Structure 1
Amino acid sequence: MNETPTDVLHSSQAPEPVGLYPHARKVGNLLFLSGVGPREKGTKQIPGVTLDETGKILSYDIEAQCHSVFRNVRTILEEAGSRWENLVDVTVFLTNMAADFQTYNRLYAQYFKDCQPCRTTVEVNALPTPIAIELKCIATI
């Protein structure tokens, strides 16, 4: 990660932000991650998502998106000098709690078995790109 004097961090390995914001910002010994979705670096592709010609979601696989978003969070943490085990707070945004919570919760339990940060999970109407999950995280460095 490239660090500026203002502690704004841009990952060279994570998917590019979809707006004017950094991947993370370091304040003291805390690392605040911007919302992280399941997109893959260098592409607009979203694992497990099928779109129609207008960009509307035809189908999606929440399991594939969960694996990808957790992988992206880990990438940003490690590149910023932190690690998965240093997560202290995770806010999860799901676009369909009724359909996706059970799968997400099962996978979350696998990934966070040995690291149990505080967690809030909320349903939102939509996210900025055609994704079904996004994480907002705080970790220590």
Structure 2
Amino acid sequence: MNPNKQMKIALMLCLIAGSAAYAVNAYAKTRRQMVKQSVDPDVAMRKWMLEISRQMGVTCTYCHNTKNFKDNSMDTFKVAMNHIEVVEWLNREGFYKDRRGTQATCFMCHRGKAKPDYKEKVGVGN
């Protein structure tokens, strides 16, 4: 085979492998990591919070002390952080693990309501 052609093929394979590694790495990042690493983290965080509030049918005051948005003293804030970790886990280990599945969001359970309608009955059936 022509050495020039071999070089081009090797270069293409390196580019493909590099872009695939980048894509896998991007999926592995959590939403919080992407917000922190964005060009303007404040704008990215605001956009993400608006997305969550629409998915849950709530406003900022449902989880946040509007005098200090980073204050984590409200119970709803603590629950929200736990649920964000669940969504991130689902995307990392479940739904999005194969890079083709549906992405987990707050809307999956909440359906635009602060408290989901459905609750599994514990200890019934089987």
Please state which structure has a larger fraction of its residues in strand: 1
Is this a same-fold pair by TM over 0.5?
A: no
Please state which structure has a larger fraction of its residues in helix: 2
| TM-score (norm: length of structure 2) | 0.30
Whose Rg is larger?
Answer: 2
